[in-house]
């Protein structure tokens, strides 16, 4: 028999039993070795029947495999090489045969095929065994027919061909059995028959297995090792045979009964944890790792009560083998393991969580009525759960979902905790919850790995700038960009390294105009957040990550030297707003900037805008009208008008200013399923750029000339149309409102 040797490639999570004692995780190997020694050293056994008793999923088949190994091993301490050859091992599994009347014949046929060809005594008895199989099979078949109340003539048809191979002149059953027994006794060859999975049969099939064993069990030099759940088999025999004591029936067949060694809960959990370590491996810096304290609490309170047997370990690990790889780095491993254990062992609890996101995620309300209502809701559901799981589920919910601490206790959490849960990708965070019920992160959704890979660029400003550009160019089906999602993810984290925060600020001030000036980032609908607002949130949050005093110096430097002039102007304006009297109630890191720093920022922006005007770059910058208004407010209105007078004869520059002046709104009327795009323009903003005696009507005439003599783009055509509409409003006395008045400019 070929020996099975341990290999590192053993399949993790397979429901197949272990085949080699080297993989023994539950202390079965010494017990298996002791049985193997007893099997070989028992003197002159005559149909000795041993039984291993253990519930389903506790490792009975693995124990049988270990016994096989020790009986097959040539260097085993149990081997008695001087006196006898190693035993012949015979496997018989009643599951292999679909018809009960085949069992006796098939068993004896298998037994016959294991006769060593070099043993002349046994080979001489082979034909007698074939005839005996035919006779015993017929007897058992008759017994089955009698029990069924009608004939079942399947046996002879099914095995006739096989019997012809071995059958010679027929003898009576007792003579055949005597001949076989005599040959087995003289052969000096011991046989060990393994019969597994008896407790998985129907009660009727169990009866037939024991009838077969009872009929053939007294052959000399043959030992039977059975594995089954004694309680389950005993109850099944009572039902099938109509007897009062199934245990007494078994005692007439089984001479030696062993109980599978009790496996401590500690060993089961050790196996579970060891398999998890092999499955999960090491977590790299771009993945969400395991917090040891949190893992210990969740394992002890909620997972360990669900993992009771070796098979439970396999079931849980098998589930994780399928579901975790696609979400690796996207979910908190501890939460995911716990949730998968719920799905496998208490599926109703899993479904309850999945269907009640709003009741499990986020922070608990501190209002007494809400707490009472929530408590009643969870208790009503908990009372529908199997009682043996209630305390476990309750404890696990309190660990996974902190708001449950308020329901079943009196503990409440703050917004700071919520931010931490988001960073840790906990299931209790509403933005992370849905991922736990997916097989992978959708391709058009920012993943946790994306965020961590971005952060691990560290102090590399060039790499961060390139990453920002790539993120802005990666668009979602909704029209937004990956950069928008990246900003939202970064401002949700309070654990950003200082070196990264500095480098990220520098990188964003390098490429920021590409973000705030990208038309694709402009308002897609009424509730969209404008890109300059997102940029402000990002810069403010990154500044908060810096040590006190360093942020002010770095922001001043970037507004002065960064490539993104428009971003610099927008940030300077926002910082100045934080120093206005109406900003007292706002919470901003920029309020700590010195007043003289704010004045320096204003002068710096004016100087940069003025330089852009001199180099003919100003008109091509995004948000040009915002820059011009800042120049007028913080600098010189005369300079702005002089610059505009200079470009008035430049068709391309004027068209550019017209396109930039178009404002886009949306309209949704009753019955419509989508909004309509409504472009408009406040033409009076150009009046502020004109130097007397040039009037707005004269400027309008200049626009018409441009339209008449140039080939225009679609955006330019639209700009000319809405400009003319705005002029008509002015002529009609309906003065368009100034959008900058709302900004205080």
For residues 177-193, give the mean pLDDT. Answer: 83
DSSP label at residue 409 = S
Taking alpha carbons only, the member of 316, 322, 357, 362 closest to residue 339 is: 316
CA distance 17 to 33: 17
Q: Is the confidence at residue 667, as pLDDT, over 90?
A: no
CA distance 545 to 502: 9
CATH class name, domain 27-35+45-259 = alpha beta
The confidence band for 10, taking pLDDT boundaries of 50, 70 and 90, is very low
Span 33-77, pLDDT tens digits:
888 888 888 887 777 888 888 887 777 888 888 888 888 876 545
Q: What was the pLDDT predicted at 439? A: 79
Tokens encoding 333 = 């491993």
Q: What was the pLDDT predicted at 502? A: 98
Q: Which of 445-470 are b and which e, b meaning 16 or more Cβ less than 10 Å from the residue's Cβ?
A: ebbbbbbbebbebeeebeebbebbbe
CA distance 137 to 109: 11
350 versus 285: which is more confidently predicted? 350
Q: Would you give the distance in Å from CA 681 to the centre of its chain?
A: 50
For residues 436-462, give the mean pLDDT. Answer: 90
For residues 182-194, give the mean pLDDT. Answer: 85
The confidence band for 745, taking pLDDT boundaries of 50, 70 and 90, is low
Q: Which residues, in sequence order, are CB contacts of 628 under 8 Å at separation 6+?
A: 640, 644, 689
The confidence band for 187, taking pLDDT boundaries of 50, 70 and 90, is confident
Q: What was the pLDDT predicted at 639? A: 96
Domain range list for the chain: 27-35+45-259, 265-437, 446-623, 636-745
Stretch among 96-105, 247-256, 291-300, 414-423 having the lowest mean pLDDT:
96-105
Q: What was the pLDDT predicted at 674? A: 61
The confidence band for 142, taking pLDDT boundaries of 50, 70 and 90, is very low
Q: Is the confidence at residue 381, as pLDDT, over 50?
A: yes
Neighbours of 523 (CB within 10 A): 14
Q: What was the pLDDT predicted at 219? A: 82
Total count of residues recorded for the chain: 745
Query: How large a percentage of the chain has pLDDT more than 70?
Result: 86
Span 607-631, pLDDT tens digits:
999 999 999 999 999 999 999 999 9
Tell me the CA distances in angstroms from 704 to 71, 204, 619, 707, 717, one per residue in order: 102, 99, 20, 5, 11
Parallel, antiparallel, or unpaired: how do β-strands 48-53 and 222-228 relate?
A: parallel
E strand or H helix at 91:
strand 88-92
Q: Is the confidence at residue 632, as pLDDT, over 50?
A: yes
Span 545-557, pLDDT tens digits:
999 989 999 999 9
Diameter of the chain measured on Cα atoms:
135
For residues 394-411, give the mean pLDDT. Answer: 91
Stretch among 57-66, 133-142, 319-328, 712-721 having the lowest mean pLDDT:
133-142
The confidence band for 158, taking pLDDT boundaries of 50, 70 and 90, is very low
The confidence band for 651, taking pLDDT boundaries of 50, 70 and 90, is very high
Neighbours of 64 (CB within 10 A): 22
Query: How large a percentage of the chain has pLDDT more than 90?
Result: 44
DSSP label at residue 665 = E
Stretch among 14-18, 196-200, 307-311, 448-452 having the lowest mean pLDDT:
14-18
Decide: pTM greater than 0.85: no
Greatest mean pLDDT among 3-7, 138-142, 284-288, 642-646 lies in: 642-646
Tell me the CA distances in angstroms from 380 to 384, 385, 704, one per residue in order: 7, 10, 74
Q: What was the pLDDT predicted at 8? A: 37
Q: Is the confidence at residue 16, as pLDDT, over 70?
A: no
Give all strands (DSSP E) within 188-243, no chain letters.
Answer: 191-195, 222-228
Q: Would you give the distance in Å from CA 216 to the centre of its chain?
A: 54
CA distance 739 to 745: 9
Tokens encoding 284 = 């790299």
Q: What was the pLDDT predicted at 256? A: 87
Q: Which residues, in sequence order, are CB contacts of 448 under 8 Å at separation 6+?
A: 287, 288, 329, 330, 331, 425, 441
The confidence band for 429, taking pLDDT boundaries of 50, 70 and 90, is very high
Q: Is the confidence at residue 344, as pLDDT, over 80?
A: yes
CA distance 556 to 374: 51
Q: What was the pLDDT predicted at 294? A: 95
Q: Which of 658-683 are b and which e, b meaning 16 or more Cβ less than 10 Å from the residue's Cβ?
A: bbbbbeeeeeeeeeeeeeeeeebbbb
Span 110-140, pLDDT tens digits:
787 788 776 777 777 777 777 777 776 555 4
CA distance 306 to 304: 5
Q: What was the pLDDT predicted at 74? A: 61
Instruction: Write down the mean pLDDT value for the chain.
Output: 84
Q: What was the pLDDT predicted at 292? A: 93
Q: Is the confidence at residue 79, as pLDDT, over 60?
A: no
Q: What was the pLDDT predicted at 7? A: 39
For residues 657-676, give the mean pLDDT. Answer: 73
């Amino acid at each position: 028999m070929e020996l099975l040797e341990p290999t590192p490639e053993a399949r993790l999570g397979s429901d197949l039993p272990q085949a080699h004692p080297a993989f023994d995780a539950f202390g079965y190997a010494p017990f298996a070795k002791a049985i193997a020694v007893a099997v070989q050293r028992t003197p002159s056994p005559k149909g000795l029947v041993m039984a291993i008793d253990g519930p389903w999923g506790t490792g009975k088949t693995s124990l049988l495999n270990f016994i096989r190994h020790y009986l097959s091993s040539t260097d085993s301490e149990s081997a008695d090489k001087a006196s006898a050859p190693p035993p012949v091992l015979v496997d018989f599994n009643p599951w292999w045969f679909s018809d009960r009347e085949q069992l006796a014949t098939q068993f004896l046929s298998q037994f016959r095929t294991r006769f060593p060809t070099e043993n002349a005594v046994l080979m001489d008895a082979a034909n007698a065994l074939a005839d005996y199989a035919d006779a015993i099979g017929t007897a058992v078949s008759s017994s089955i027919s009698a029990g069924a109340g009608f004939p079942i003539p399947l046996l002879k048809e099914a095995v006739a061909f096989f019997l012809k191979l071995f059958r010679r002149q027929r003898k009576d059953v007792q003579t055949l059995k005597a001949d076989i027994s005599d040959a087995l006794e003289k052969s000096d060859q011991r046989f060990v028959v393994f019969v597994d999975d008896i407790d998985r049969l129907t009660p009727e099939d169990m009866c037939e297995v024991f009838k077969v064993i009872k009929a053939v069990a007294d052959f000399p030099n043959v030992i039977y090792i059975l594995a089954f759940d004694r309680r389950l088999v005993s109850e099944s025999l009572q039902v099938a045979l109509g007897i009062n004591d199934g245990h007494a029936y078994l005692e007439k067949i089984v001479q030696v009964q062993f109980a599978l060694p009790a496996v401590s809960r500690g060993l089961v959990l050790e196996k579970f944890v060891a398999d998890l370590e092999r499955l999960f491996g090491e977590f790299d810096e771009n993945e969400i790792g395991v917090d040891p304290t949190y893992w210990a609490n969740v394992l002890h309170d909620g997972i360990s009560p669900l993992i009771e047997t070796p098979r439970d370990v396999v079931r849980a690990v098998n589930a994780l083998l399928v579901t975790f790889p696609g979400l690796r780095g996207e979910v908190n491993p501890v939460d995911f393991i716990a949730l998968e254990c719920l799905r496998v062992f208490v599926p109703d609890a899993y479904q309850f969580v999945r269907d009640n996101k709003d009741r499990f995620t986020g922070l608990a309300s501190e209002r007494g009525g809400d707490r009472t209502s929530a408590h009643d809701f969870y208790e009503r559901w908990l009372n529908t759960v199997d009682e043996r799981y209630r305390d476990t589920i309750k404890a696990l919910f309190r660990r996974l979902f902190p708001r449950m601490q308020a329901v079943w206790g009196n503990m409440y959490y703050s917004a700071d905790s919520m931010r931490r849960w988001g960073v840790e990708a906990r299931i209790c965070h509403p933005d992370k919850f849905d991922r736990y019920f997916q097989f992978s992160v959708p391709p058009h959704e920012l993943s946790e790995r994306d965020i961590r890979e971005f952060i691990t660029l560290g102090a590399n400003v060039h790499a961060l700038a390139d990453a920002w550009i790539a993120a802005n160019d990666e668009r979602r089906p909704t029209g937004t960009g990956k950069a928008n999602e990246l900003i939202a993810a970064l401002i949700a984290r309070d654990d950003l390294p200082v070196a990264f925060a500095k480098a990220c600020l520098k990188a964003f001030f390098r490429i920021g105009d590409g973000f705030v000036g990208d038309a694709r980032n402009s308002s897609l609908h009424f509730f969209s957040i404008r890109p300059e607002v997102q940029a402000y949130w990002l810069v403010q949050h990154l500044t908060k990550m810096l040590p006190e005093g360093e942020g002010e110096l770095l922001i001043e430097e970037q507004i002065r030297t960064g490539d993104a002039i428009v971003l610099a102007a927008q940030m300077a304006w926002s910082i100045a707003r934080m120093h206005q009297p109406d900003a007292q109630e706002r919470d901003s890191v920029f309020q700590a900037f010195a007043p003289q720093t704010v004045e320096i920022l204003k002068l710096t922006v004016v100087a940069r805008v003025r330089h852009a005007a001199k180099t003919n770059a100003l008109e091509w910058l995004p948000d040009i009208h915002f820059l011009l208004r800042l120049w007028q407010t913080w600098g010189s209105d005369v300079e702005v008008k002089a610059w505009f007078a200079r470009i008035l004869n430049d068709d391309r520059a004027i068209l550019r200013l017209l396109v930039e002046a178009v404002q886009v709104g949306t309209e949704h009327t009753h019955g419509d399923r989508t909004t309509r795009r409504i472009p408009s323009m406040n033409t009076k903003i150009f009046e502020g750029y004109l130097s007397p005696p040039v009037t707005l009507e004269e400027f309008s005439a200049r626009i018409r000339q441009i339209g008449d003599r140039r080939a225009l783009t679609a955006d330019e055509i639209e700009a000319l149309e809405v400009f003319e509409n705005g002029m008509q409003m002015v002529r009609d006395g309906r003065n368009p409102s100034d959008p900058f008045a709302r900004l205080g400019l």
